[in-house]
Amino acid sequence: MSPGESSTYTWAGRFSEPMSDLVKRYTASVAFDQRLWRQDIRASLAHARMLARQAIITAADLEDIERGMAQVVSEIEAGIFVWSPDLEDVHLNIEKRLTSLVGDAGKRLHTGRSRNDQVATDMRLYVRDSIDGILALLDQLQSALLDIAEREAATPLPGFTHLQVAQPVTFGHHLLAYHEMMRRDGERYVDCRRRTNRLPLGSAALAGTSYPVDRLYVAELLGFDGLCENSLDAVSDRDFAIEFCAACALLMMHFSRLSEELVLWMNPRFGFITLADRFCTGSSIMPQKKNPDVAELARGKTGRVYGHLTALLTLMKGQPLAYNKDNQEDKEPVFDAVDTVTDTLRVFIEMVPGITANRRKMRAALDEGFATATDLADYLVGKGLPFRDAHETVGLAVRRAEELGMDLSQLSLGELRQFSPLVGEDLVLSVEASLAARNHQGGTAPEQVLAAVDRARRR
């Protein structure tokens, strides 16, 4: 066969029999990797500009390539581009169409590169773009959390340990805990972006290229901070995608925790919050139901993102240098992690402002749980009692209050004095006093919650 006459495959020259349909289907990735088309074309145009600048192709070739690619872009955007599984992947589909539009210049585009450094570049661009999108959404969600944290800065609710009433906290403080988790999530994405944003192109198939390429120029055109230093590493490792999925898995874990709390708080036994109706669904047979489906789904979707992280770690382990086709399997986990995280962020950005605190219910739960027991112990310590003794004394008082069906703060001074003569007129046992006492950076006092909101907004 002479050049150009071979089968649809650009690499079929050395083959004597066609690929079976089953193998074609098994090896093709275009059904899912067409999603990389913008990154693929951006990278190809940068590569072509470099080739022309280095006089590896002519200025006329570059012009043809740019004109042809503009046509390809408009066809894809219009939805009339024909993606063919016969052409295996996004790279070959685009290159083939370009060639059919502009002829030889299209065939020269692949000079000095390989699909191995091409796909590694596309994936890095894709992960980088996705991180930028996720960071913008995270920012919006954090603002929404700050808004209700500010509104509920002085709203008391029981703080739990072991899911048992422990001490009073403010709802604002509770929400700021999630704000902090998401701040760290953002930092992880920023950190991952730094290592992702290095250029593989120029590594070619694995060993580099014999053409006088200018890799730094390509890096600059594509907004990369630098080059992948080693060609073998550049075409083979997908650690950046793994890190990205790890950041997504952690973010989803935090969403799952928040979701679990929303579900609990929606349960009438808690009744701490209501969610706007548009984020809940009813039951087909039980007319009374209002189910927090969005939160439940976010909790459930966490699992698939963990799965993607595991898939990528397993995909990479045991691969010898350099590129192996295994790496084609990196796409779907990354894409689904992006979709899941992006959709979850979007839905929470809308849902969080629709959280209404039921302050009365929160308060009632606090009044039932002896939440000020630690404050009574601290008071006795202030009067000179060693903490361990104070702890025991208050334990006895709690037992008595329980027998009487009362809260600690409802016991009279006389009753409390039966447990310790140190109890005096100056004892103030109230939720408000308990909150106000925790008045240091990181504490739950309303004043501190407002200060924390303020610091977060200024950041």
In contact, 179 and 459? CB cutoff 8 Å: no
Positions marked catalytic: 162, 283
Residue that is written with structure tokens 């039921």 in the block? 358
Nearest approach in angstroms of CB 29 to ligand ARG is: 5
Q: How far is the CB of 357 from ligand ARG (least distance, A)?
A: 49
Binding mask 381-420 for ligand ARG (x = CB under 6 A): ----------------------------------------
Give the nearer residue to ligand ARG in terms of CB position, either 61 or 89: 89
Contacts of ligand ARG in 70-89 (CB under 6 A): 89
Using a 10 angstrom Cβ sphere, with 0-12 exposed, 13-18 middle and 19 or more buried, the burial of residue 285 is exposed
Beta strands 164-170 and 355-357 are: unpaired
89 vs 243, beta carbon nearer ligand ARG: 89
- Nearer to ligand ARG by Cβ, of 87 and 175: the residue is 87
Positive or negative, the Cα torsion across 118, 245, 314, 296? Answer: negative
Q: Rounded distance, CA 159 to CA 163, Å?
A: 9
- Nearest CA to 140 out of 347, 351, 349 is that of 349
In 3D, which of 430, 436, 432, 394 has the Cα closest to residue 415? Answer: 394
The H or E element containing residue 168 is strand 164-170
- Whichever of 29 and 203 has its CB closer to ligand ARG, that residue is 29
Check binding of 209 to ligand ARG (CB under 6 A): no
- Please, which of residues 420-449 interact with ligand ARG by CB under 6 A? none
Q: CB of residue 325 vs ligand ARG: minimum separation in angstroms?
A: 6
How far apart are CB 359 and ligand ARG at their closest, in Å? Answer: 54
Question: How many residues bind to ligand ARG according to rule CB under 6 A?
Answer: 9
Taking the complex as a whole, the smallest distance from the CB of residue 336 to ligand ARG amounts, in Å, to 16
Within residues 7-66, the interface with ligand ARG by CB under 6 A covers 29, 33
Helix/strand/coil for 355 = strand
Q: Is 273 helix (H, G, I), strand (E, B) or coil?
A: strand
Q: What is the DSSP string of 356-420?
A: EE-HHHHHHHHHTTTTTHHHHHHHHHHTT--HHHHHHHHHHHHHHHHHHT--GGGS-HHHHHTT-
With respect to ligand ARG, which residue has the nearer C-beta, 35 or 193?
A: 35
User: Is residue 327 involved in binding ligand ARG (CB under 6 A)?
Assistant: yes
322 binding ligand ARG? (CB under 6 A): no
Tell the smallest beta-carbon distance from residue 217 to ligand ARG (Å): 23
CB of 351 to ligand ARG, least distance (A): 36
Q: Looking at 113, 115, 193, 438, which residue binds ligand ARG (CB under 6 A)?
A: 115
User: Measured between alpha carbons, how far is 122 from 39 in angstroms, rounded to an integer?
Assistant: 5
Coil/strand/helix, residue 17? coil
Nearest to 48 by CA among 201, 234, 205: 201
Q: Which of 10, 39, 44, 116 binds ligand ARG (CB under 6 A)?
A: 116
Hey, which residues does 159 pair with through a beta bridge? Answer: 167
Can you tell me which of 119, 242, 311, 371 binds ligand ARG, judged by CB under 6 A?
119
Under the criterion CB under 6 A, does residue 372 sit at the interface with ligand ARG?
Answer: no
Given candidates 121, 328, 409, 420, which one binds ligand ARG under the rule CB under 6 A?
A: 328
- Which of these ranges, 262-270, 302-310, 325-333, 445-453, lies near ligand ARG under the rule CB under 6 A? 325-333
Give the whole-angstrom CA distance, residue 219 versus residue 227: 7
Instruction: Of 92, 107, 109, give the one whose Cα is nearest residue 45.
Output: 109
Tell me the window of 94-102, 115-123, 247-255, 303-311 that interacts with ligand ARG (CB under 6 A). 115-123
Least distance between ligand ARG and beta carbon 242 (Å): 15
Should residue 258 be labelled a site residue for ligand ARG when binding is judged by CB under 6 A? no
Of 171 and 240, nearer to ligand ARG (C-beta) is 240
Task: Please tell me the distance from the alpha carbon of residue 56 to that of residue 217, in angstroms, as a whole number.
Answer: 14
- Contacts (Cβ under 8 Å, ≥6 apart) of 349: 137, 140, 141, 144
Residues near ligand ARG (CB under 6 A) are: 29, 33, 89, 115-116, 119, 325, 327-328
